[in-house]
Amino acid sequence: MSLMNRRSFIAGTLSAAAAAGGAGDLGAQSASAQKDKYRVAIIGCGRMGQYYADVYKALPDTEIVAIAEWNDERRKVVGERYGVKALFKDVNALLKEVVPDLAAVITPSKFMKDAVIACAQAGVKGVSTDKPMAAKLSDADEMVDVCVKRKVVFAGGNLQRALPTVQEAARRLRTGVYGKLAGAAVHGFGGEISGGGCQHISVLRLLTRAEVAEVVAWGSPPEALAKDTDEGLIINGRFRMTSGLECQVFGTPTPARGVDVWTERALVRWDWGAPTIFEGTDAKGARKQIDAKYPPFAWSHIIEKAGLRPEDIYLVASIRSFIEAVRTGSELWISGADLRQALEVAIACRLSAQLGNLPVRLPLKDRSLVLFPRPYRWVGGDVTGRVQSAEEAAGRKKE
């Protein structure tokens, strides 16, 4: 994708988001009337893949029809757990026999590109993946491009950007409920800036309705900055957004851990959960927290039905957004392009720090730049010593 086409794509995404309404119910009514279920394939059935399978199994309008999992014992056990008989060693073997409507690619990051592209080329209607989607920018570009070319809905996955409360806070900000945007800050941007850092960048972009246009960054410790992974890398610096908004970035500890966005009269604070809203001041002149009055989420009951943790609501919301985008063409709450943008910002931060804090403009011209996540994310637990037991894979024990 050329840089100009990429800018147009981003602008279109932001315009569509700005035009959207509130968090909504993500098809809660239409699902009950849906006669035909979407046929789902789970590509990669480790711990996270099993979370996805729990949700898809619990939803009324989806059916898991195939699983691809390279670990022979896990493939058999997980197939029995979810009642799936079409079991395959890899994505290519699966696609020769089954072309699902939806494919959830939950492999380690190293294998996501090939799986996403194979699914898109096979004719699936929608494919989703998780974070981080790649290590090399050009690989992320290729995944986005092939889905655009083949008109395949390309969704992101388990990010808090999909929390209904985060989406509602973003709606209020973009419609001016709290006044004009005035500034932003990212807290705790360190340790895994391309892995866990996807969360911060994705929420920041949503709440500010803008892209990161320029990065100035300081990285520490020196040994982490010298590595080709994001392990242990702490970033302090500044983002300049396409809207002109300035965003301070704190990698070293502050009282907060997420993203702050403030307006003329309010502060919206995402700190790994429902955003807290502060408006006005108390008797001591400090910010005063108000009742955010977030509307209920129509799909909350799936959490209990699927046996998930309460905080897994954002995975449910992410998957519902994906299904509705395939069904109606509605705006994704998390897209593959969002994951690509988070990777690009992380790479730009490390590059700026390595260049002695020089400003780095985005989009990056060099698409061959690479930033690897920590080994567990990149190649998975079976390779890095965090092997899942058959008992846990069968759902009988949580480790």
Q: Are residues 178 and 73 in the same domain?
A: no
**Share of residues in the chain with pLDDT > 90 (%):** 88
pLDDT band at 34 (very low <50, low <70, confident <90, very high): low
298-335: burial string, b at 16+ Cβ within 10 Å, e else: bbeebbeebebeeebbbbbbbbbbbbbbbbeebbbbbb
pLDDT at 13: 41
Virtual torsion, Cα 36, 42, 45, 47, nearest 10 deg: -70
Q: Are residues 60 and 197 in the same domain?
A: no
Q: Are residues 202 and 324 in the same domain?
A: no
Q: Are residues 63 and 102 in the same domain?
A: yes
* Cα(91)–Cα(81) distance, integer angstroms: 20
The domain tally of the chain equals: 2
Residue 392 located in a structural domain: no
pLDDT digits (tens, 9 = 90+) for 323-379: 999 999 999 999 999 999 999 999 999 999 999 999 999 999 999 999 999 999 999
Residue with tokens 């009055």: 293
Average pLDDT value for residue range 179-188: 97
Question: Does pLDDT of 264 surpass 70?
Answer: yes
Residue 385 located in a structural domain: no
- Which range of residues forms the domain containing residue 217? 161-290
pLDDT at 159: 96
pTM for the model: 0.92
